[in-house]
Amino acid sequence: MPIERNHRLFAWFSIAATLVCGLLAGPAVLSAQQPYRVLDRWKIGGDGFWDYLLADPGAHRLYLTHGARVDVLDTQTGKAVGSIGGLHGTHGIALDNAGKFGYISDGGGNAVVVFDRATLATLATIPAGQNPDGIVFEPATQTVWAFNGRSKDVTVIDAAQRKVVATIALPGKPEFPAVDGKGTVFDNIEDKSEIVRLDARTNKLTAEWPLTGCDGPSGLAFDTAAGRLFPVCGGKHMGVIDSNTGKVLATPAIGDGPDAAGWDAKDKLAFASCGEGVLAVIDAGAAGYPTIESLPTQRGARTMAYDSGADRIYLVTAEFGPRPDPTADNPHPRPTVVPGSFTVIVVGR
């Protein structure tokens, strides 16, 4: 075979191989870049308001705080698994790292309720501060941290003994917490627009950081690998905070009325669920932390949970009726919830 023809054939095969490899790799690349969209809506029904929700990817479960109970769904079917009742006004859920127990902040009962994750049976009720709201399990010390909105402190519970081991005063009204898995706890202080850092080994407050440009932080997500905290704030902003120094690195745009945040470690995306009916998606792997998507969801869908196993986001809301007239005891009343309209919105790619 002439040398020139051999070179031409070699070049042709190289081009063909490159095209084939590109076609094979293409769908995976495109899939990772596809925008999020609403995939399904699961009608749960029931009455009353709601607060935080939490996904358990390994068990394919979704926990929803819903008034005086916690609803538990199968995330593969959207069907109810059961519920944990007899509560007084639920706010959040935390899960241990052994797959055995869960913890509910029962704000109306000023308590943390322990339940069995296999049977959903209530195992213990532990007194906390006034109106426990955000709650988190700290794995390095095997403790549960319940942040009390009305008494402005945090109740620390030994998970094994199921008893309170510390109560730590906070500089203001706490909202959602996050942990690094190594003994450090962070929490938003909503009424002072700051983040606090706490040491789970000494039960001490170790830092208090103002959030310039991030007012009234509520929900909080955490990129533990890069040391970045993502509080969602008023004024249609999310903060990007260095968890080592407290420095505000960026304030990307989100929707109005956010109350929760999420983090996708695989694709380096941060999420903010906003009550106006928008899910904001921020690219934390790009310079400047740009907002790359503002997905319309539904009015009132202000809390969310990210499911890392399925790359799904779950949001909850309902249909609303008229807002009651203000009174001296309730100057800013919520609108009424249409009975039976409580719904989970499933978002994915």
Asked whether residue 347 falls in the same domain as residue 216, the answer is yes
Helix, strand, coil shares, percent, the chain, to 5: 10, 50, 40
Assess whether 337 and 281 both reside in one domain. yes
User: Across all residues in the chain, what is the average pLDDT?
Assistant: 91
**pLDDT tens readout for residues 85-127:** 999 999 999 999 999 999 999 999 999 999 999 999 999 999 9
**Structural domains in the chain (count):** 2
Spatial distance between the Cα atoms of 13 and 229, rounded to a whole number of angstroms:
49
Q: Is the pLDDT of residue 278 over 70?
A: yes
Round to whole Å and give the CA distance between 28 and 307. Answer: 20
Any domain includes 11:
no
Residue 139 lies in a domain: yes
The two tokens of residue 50 are: 């709601």
Residue 342 covered by a domain: yes
Confidence at 3, pLDDT banded by 50, 70, 90 = very low
Angle at the Cα of 188 from the Cα atoms of 110 and 254, rounded to 5 degrees: 120
CB contact set of 10 (below 8 Å; sequence gap of 6+): none
- Model pTM? 0.88
Task: Report residue 33's pLDDT band, with 50, 70 and 90 as the boundaries.
Answer: low
On whether both 128 and 182 belong to a single domain, the answer is yes
Contact 42, 312 (CB under 8 A): no
Q: State which of 210, 235, 255 marks the end of a domain.
A: 210
Question: Which of these, 155, 159, 162, 139, lies nearest to 203 by C-alpha position?
Answer: 155
Place of tokens 């949970």: 305
C-alpha distances out from residue 250 to 95, 121, 178, 230, Å: 31, 44, 19, 10
**Do 146 and 231 lie in a common domain?**
no
Name residue 140's amino acid.
A
In this structure, are 219 and 306 located in the same domain? Answer: yes
In this predicted model, what pLDDT tens digit does every residue of 281-340 receive, in sequence order? 999 999 999 999 999 999 999 999 999 999 999 999 999 888 888 887 787 777 888 888
* pLDDT (tens digit per residue) in 153-182: 999 999 999 999 999 999 999 999 999 999
Q: Is residue 240 part of a domain?
A: yes
Residue of higher predicted confidence among 182 and 6: 182
Of 175, 190, 210, which residue is a domain's last?
210
CA-CA distance, 94 to 201, in Å (whole number)? Answer: 19
Q: How far is CA 59 from CA 95, 104, 307, in A?
A: 12, 18, 11
Q: Are residues 166 and 129 in the same domain?
A: yes
Measured from the Cβ of residue 304, the count of other Cβ atoms closer than 10 Å reads 27
Give the C-alpha separation, 31 to 27, whole Å.
6
Asked if 82 and 73 touch (Cβ cutoff 8 Å), the reply is no
Query: Does one domain contain both 215 and 348?
Result: yes
Residue 142, class by beta-carbon neighbours within 10 Å (0-12 exposed, 13-18 middle, 19+ buried)?
middle
Please, are residues 74 and 81 in contact by the beta-carbon 8 Å criterion? Answer: yes
Show the domain range for 182.
Answer: 87-210
Phi-psi region for residue 181, left (φ > 0), alpha (ψ -120 to 50) or beta? Answer: left
Q: Is 139 found in the same domain as 43?
A: no
What pLDDT does residue 148 have? Answer: 98
Structure tokens at 328: 């001296």
Tokens of 261: 């945040």
